[in-house]
Structure 1
Amino acid sequence: MAVIHGRYFPSNFSAKLSNYKRKTPKQSPLPTFISTNPSDINPFHLRDLYSQCNRSPHRFPLRDSENQVEPVEVNKLSIALSNSTVVVSVFTRPELDLPGELEGLEGVEEGGDWFRKLMPLSPANGRLVGFGRAVSDFCLTASIYDVMVLPALQGRGIGRKILQKIIRSLTNRGIYDIAALCSEEERQFFKACGFENDIMGSTTMMYTRTSSTSEAKQMVQRAGRKSLLLPPDRKPFQS
């Protein structure tokens, strides 16, 4: 996990974004609806999106034998949405033929009906395919989390639109100290969108606790080089 900071200037963002676009193969336009209203997101659909992307808001999620992360608790997602400073969601038509990625999700129908196809795309009749959020003190700093796009739709610029919406919303409030929590694989994407290594040299540090006599009933789990103290009622994830 890494943290990189954004020095957001419109010219800098546009130049780097154009370079990134030239490296991305051209694909047919995709009808999308982008929302910044948290109430447009169904927490159950958001949980499904996390699963489809094999992502988790937990820094050290439990994984099954096939390396799939445990499902996110819907009630915690609802609380996280209500306490996020900026929430961006992207919807597309559910009847689109996306091989394998949308199969098995509630509400997806093959072909759809002609009446729904003629209706304007909206969160009410669309399928959630992209998401991102930011948490801030509303004045000085902000951090971006969980920018993700359905795997079948990656490479179409949806992630860039999500990030651009988040940045614009924060800078409109006068917040320019913006950090992004991302994996090493995501660093290239964020750098193409105007983020760089923090000039202060800061790195991500995660809070951990060590067991003591009073905490003997709690389970200590190794996560890389860290020891994480788990709640006593948390059970290993099994698919």
Structure 2
Amino acid sequence: MAIVGSIHGRFIIFNNHKPSIRHRQRRKPTPPIFISTNLSDINPNHLRDLCSTCNHSLHRFPNILPDGRIEPVDVDKLRIALLHSSVVVSVFAKPELVRLPESNTGGDWYRRMIPLTPVTGELVGFGRAVSDNALTASIYDVMVTPTLQGRGIGRMIVQRIIRLLTSKGIYDIAALCSDQEMCFFKECGFGDDMLGSTTMMYSKSGSDMVVSAGRKLLMVPPLRKS
């Protein structure tokens, strides 16, 4: 069964698909986490470290290092991207749990007694959305540290983003994802656009070119190849 939402002639399908009992049994339990939607709780340097741990870049065309990993994102650009994001969701867990994901007894008793907050916890998950705050929105950069993947944290991030957007009356929500991420977003309720739209991205290779925009001449640099 699917719920179809519309706004000003635009439709998107939210599938009420529930994972099978067998699938739920395979999923590891979700550890104690703290979920925040407060931008001030995100340290750009910690987010850059999470991106490096997940080998994820907020840049669509990042440089690839000789070892095959993605070049870390510039912190200043990351800070600007966060400030201009309409919704940000960050997830924190106790550091000893990240190091020992199969055990909840890591660390000394004093650390276990400290309440979990963005200050005492380690950033282990993130997601954001960019929106016009009225009609449409797009979800980007959903990631979870590898040691805690497969525990439902990524789904919680997406659900929290959708809840915040729909509370503003925004139901035209897109998810920019790779082929490998499509199954994850389908499990989160996303489906094909009923209008059959296809995302198209501007791309141009070669040397710098001059583009005429009205009476202005704009220098457009080539995009970096992955």
Gaps of 5+ in 1: 101-110, 225-239
- In the TM superposition, what is the alpha-carbon distance from 1:116 to its structure 2 partner? 2.7
Which residue is 1:237 aligned to? none
Which residue type is aligned with residue 63 of structure 1?
I
Alignment partner of 1:195: what SS? Answer: coil
Aligned residues: 204
Alignment partner of 2:99: what SS? Answer: coil
Which residue type is aligned with residue 188 of structure 2?
C
Which of the numbers 180, 183, 186 marks the counterpart of 2:181? 186
Summarize deviations over 1:139-191 as a string: whole Å, max 9, x none: 00000000010111110000000000000000000000000000100101111
- In the TM superposition, what is the alpha-carbon distance from 1:67 to its structure 2 partner? 1.7
Summarize deviations over 1:110-159 as a string: whole Å, max 9, x none: x5443232121000100000000000000000000000101111100000
Aligned partners of 1:139 and 1:197: how far apart in 2? 22
Kept in 1, the 8 Å contact 2:127–2:142? The answer is: yes
Aligned partners of 1:214 and 1:6: how far apart in 2? 38
Q: TM-score, normalised by structure 2?
A: 0.81
Which residue type is aligned with residue 162 of structure 1?
I
Alignment partner of 2:184: what SS? Answer: helix
Alignment partner of 1:130: what SS? Answer: strand
Which residue is 2:31 aligned to? 30
Which residue is 2:19 aligned to? 19
Kept in 1, the 8 Å contact 2:30–2:153? The answer is: no
- In the TM superposition, what is the alpha-carbon distance from 1:99 to its structure 2 partner? 6.0
Residue 126 (structure 1) aligned with residue 127 (structure 2)? no
Residue 145 (structure 1) aligned with residue 150 (structure 2)? no
Residue 7 (structure 1) aligned with residue 8 (structure 2)? no
Cα distance change of structure 1 residues 50 and 20 upon mapping to structure 2, 3 Å threshold: farther
Residue 69 (structure 1) aligned with residue 64 (structure 2)? no
Which residue is 2:95 aligned to? 94
Kept in 1, the 8 Å contact 2:86–2:133? The answer is: yes
Kept in 2, the 8 Å contact 1:88–1:132? The answer is: yes
Q: TM-score, normalised by structure 1?
A: 0.76
Aligned partners of 1:45 and 1:165: how far apart in 2? 21
Cα distance change of structure 1 residues 21 and 160 upon mapping to structure 2, 3 Å threshold: farther
Cα distance change of structure 1 residues 74 and 21 upon mapping to structure 2, 3 Å threshold: farther
Which of the numbers 130, 134, 145 marks the counterpart of 1:135? 130
Gaps of 5+ in 2: 1-10, 212-219
Root mean square deviation of aligned Cα: 2.7
Aligned partners of 1:136 and 1:181: how far apart in 2? 13
